[in-house]
Copies of this chain bind each other. A is one copy, B any other.
């Protein structure tokens, strides 16, 4: 910037004004400066700017795995939303590791993001995140974080699971299983609990069959096979997220099972499987937008206790629920 100033024969301050589109510069001066900037290939140094201004117009996002479509859609929607407020979103993956999450939190805080959105890797707040929360607003998405006073955006897990169970019951299913993702994942536990509650509420017969992961190779198939045996074997299964849904679909094919599946999380080809899969749709884009909105509300000065937003789900019925004629298997 000093170079540009020298070359353009103006002061550094004037160059700064041009770079930042500040008023109070004669158009001719401005265009001369701009020409020199071009010529010299000058690039402003955001670090220096942050240092002086004390702010960065950027926010950080930590998800479990950017490779998972659900999270990547969340990231994409948040990026759009942040951009519409002239902020830059830095998206990162913790890969399910609390240690990595803590590192990322520190890295983002060090980059002086103005706020943090986190899909927590564990259910208890790390020291890193608690310390971050003292400096800037933090919003948890998809799962709450015990031991942290932070705004939270959740999916309506109870409502979503209940709608799935009711749908199956309305289609004459009485014995329904539940398969959840790894037990360390809060939503898996929560959806399991919701399943048990619905089971009770609707007075379904017998002991409810449920299980959480992680699953060994072939375990899902073996489990479903076992649950489906006999005259009161299950006729349908509800899954806690798209990861498990995929495992169940694979297991069914491999073993020739024929259970009705209702999946938590919609997925792109649900309509085109045979039979199509009914899903509890929780729109990652809605969660992301709400999270960013809440974050900006805090940045704009909102005070008061942490809020919890519950985003409704929608059951997408795809005609997969009809109870099949007695299993084609023995």
Contact = CB atoms under 8 A, between A and B. Distances in A.
Interface of A: 41, 43-51, 56, 65-69, 71-73, 75-77, 79-80, 88-93, 95, 106-107, 109-112, 131, 134-135, 246, 249-250, 253, 267-269, 271-274
Nearest to A89: B92
How many copies of the chain does the oligomer comprise? 2
* Interchain residue pairs A-B with the least CB separation, the first 7: A72-B72, A67-B76, A47-B47, A47-B50, A46-B110, A66-B76, A67-B73
Contact of A249 (B88, B91, B250, B269): B269
Given A46-B47, A69-B69, 17 more contacts: A41-B135, A43-B106, A45-B51, A45-B110, A46-B110, A47-B111, A67-B75, A69-B72, A75-B91, A80-B95, A88-B92, A90-B91, A91-B92, A249-B272, A273-B273, A273-B274, A274-B274
Contact of A65 (B76, B90, B109): B76
A41 to B, nearest CB: 5
A100 to B, nearest CB: 8
A109 B134 CA distance: 30
Contacts of A43: 106, 109-110, 131, 135
16 contacts: A41-B131, A43-B110, A43-B131, A47-B47, A47-B49, A47-B56, A47-B111, A49-B110, A66-B76, A67-B72, A67-B76, A71-B72, A76-B93, A90-B91, A91-B91, A250-B271
Contacts of A56: 47
Contact of A44 (B71, B89, B110, B131): B110
A134 B107 CA distance: 27
A56 B134 CA distance: 25
Give the interface centre of A44, A47, A79 by most chain B CB atoms within 10 Å. A47
Nearest to A67: B76
Contacts of A273: 269, 272-274
A225 to B, nearest CB: 18
Contacts of A95: 80
A110 B135 CA distance: 24
Contacts of A72: 66-69, 71-72, 75
Nearest to A43: B109
B246 A268 contact: yes
A107 B274 CA distance: 46
A92 B77 CA distance: 12
A107 B88 contact: yes
A326 to B, nearest CB: 22
Contacts of A91: 66, 75, 90-92
A6 B298 CA distance: 32
A128 to B, nearest CB: 10
Contact of A75 (B66, B77, B272): B66
Contacts of A274: 273-274
